Amino acid sequence: MTAMRPLDGVYRQDAAAGYVARRARILGGEWTPPPIEGFASPRCNARDEDALARLLGVMLAADGLAAVTLGDPLESAALVRVAERLGRPVPERSPEVQAFVEHGVVLNLRPAFDETAEVERQPFATNFISLHTEGSMAPPDRRPALLLFQCRETDADASGGKTVVLSMADVVARLPFELAAILRRTGYRGRAASDPILAEIGGSFRLTFRDFMYTPLEWTCWASRPNVDATDVNHALRTLHEALYAAPLHHVPYTAGTLFVLDNRRFLHGRTRIMYPDSRRHLQRVRIAVPNAAVSA
């Protein structure tokens, strides 16, 4: 038997696809998704960093999301210490973001630019950010398991700039079985067959994916042919995009002093457009690669 050669192809966004219009409506800023259901953000004593991290860990293990409210935001060094209690912070090495980095791992997310097509600048611009898992382009060992956010300052509710989250389970539930089967055999070009867009790990599904919008997505599929061809793979990818923008989306109701943690293995996220350039929105983000055992689901 000869070894099967993988199939290569490119997915390009069709401007007429239903999700393209829905994405603009959902993330464009005029509409705010509802807050996370049952969002509990208990008040917490910022001085007891062990207790703070333990509480976040318990919430994370249960729900994949966690939040606490502090009287005042933590100093950046204290934020790093809390992150270290949750796992191993990932250094921010990208040259484009260095002006926004503190302590090597804290990224300051503030709107510093107007709307831009440059992807590297978009976290610091007023653009909306399409739905994604963090680090989908990175090799598996550099993908964060957790994202820790701290809100230092926020705008009025109607101002856009909302962090939005959606559960992978809700997305996968919208995929027909045969298309999910294709996505389990499809990865970004250059990836191993063991690192697909949709993986089953420990009995639950995990997506590693970013909606690239206008940028073509080069893929490789290891499904057996002639059962599957490039049209089938592109159909599966389009259906995945449709599912992303059809699944229930919620925003994180930040106030200054909210610490929020998201399990990047259970939730996707994005950001609605910041509605005015003089926004005071200031979030800090620490990526955490290897969570401590207590915070793993």
Among 48-56, 74-82, 128-136, 177-185, the segment contacting Fe ion (CB under 5 A) = 128-136
Distances (CA, A) of 187 to 29, 77, 255: 31, 37, 38
Compute the least distance from the CB of residue 123 to Fe ion, in Å.
7
Of the pair 184, 266, the CB lying nearest Fe ion is at 266
Report the Cα 187 to chain-centroid distance in Å. 18
Compute the least distance from the CB of residue 269 to Fe ion, in Å.
6
Among 112-120, 131-139, 247-255, 259-267, the segment contacting Fe ion (CB under 5 A) = 131-139
Of the pair 93, 225, the CB lying nearest Fe ion is at 93
Using DSSP's 3-state secondary structure scheme, residue 220 falls into: strand
Of the pair 125, 228, the CB lying nearest Fe ion is at 125
Q: Are 52 and 258 a contacting pair, CB within 8 Å?
A: no
Report the Cα 70 to chain-centroid distance in Å. 24
Whole-angstrom distance, CA of residue 6 vs CA of residue 222: 5
Of the pair 240, 262, the CB lying nearest Fe ion is at 262
Compute the least distance from the CB of residue 176 to Fe ion, in Å.
28
Of the pair 59, 107, the CB lying nearest Fe ion is at 107
Compute the least distance from the CB of residue 41 to Fe ion, in Å.
20
Among 27-35, 126-134, 178-186, 253-261, the segment contacting Fe ion (CB under 5 A) = 126-134
The angle that helices 76-86 and 49-63 make with each other, rounded to 10 degrees, is 50
Of the pair 134, 232, the CB lying nearest Fe ion is at 134
Instruction: Tell me how many residues contact Fe ion (CB under 5 A).
Output: 1
Q: Which of residues 20, 27, 29, 134 is near Fe ion by CB under 5 A? A: 134
Question: What is the DSSP code (8-state) at residue 222?
Answer: -
The angle that helices 230-244 and 18-27 make with each other, rounded to 10 degrees, is 30
Distances (CA, A) of 249 to 33, 176, 177: 6, 20, 22
Of the pair 85, 271, the CB lying nearest Fe ion is at 271
232 binds Fe ion per the rule CB under 5 A: no
What is the residue-wise DSSP string for 59-103?
A: HHHHHSEEEEE-SSPPPHHHHHHHHHHHEEEPP---GGGGGGEET
Whole-angstrom distance, CA of residue 157 vs CA of residue 29: 11
Distances (CA, A) of 137 to 7, 169, 188: 20, 21, 8
Compute the least distance from the CB of residue 132 to Fe ion, in Å.
6
Of the pair 83, 228, the CB lying nearest Fe ion is at 83
Compute the least distance from the CB of residue 264 to Fe ion, in Å.
9
Among 4-12, 133-141, 174-182, 201-209, the segment contacting Fe ion (CB under 5 A) = 133-141
Using DSSP's 3-state secondary structure scheme, residue 24 falls into: helix
Q: Which residue is nearest to Fe ion (CB)?
A: 134
Question: What is the DSSP code (8-state) at residue 56?
Answer: H
Compute the least distance from the CB of residue 61 to Fe ion, in Å.
22
Among 79-87, 93-101, 132-140, 190-198, the segment contacting Fe ion (CB under 5 A) = 132-140
Residues that bind Fe ion (CB under 5 A): 134
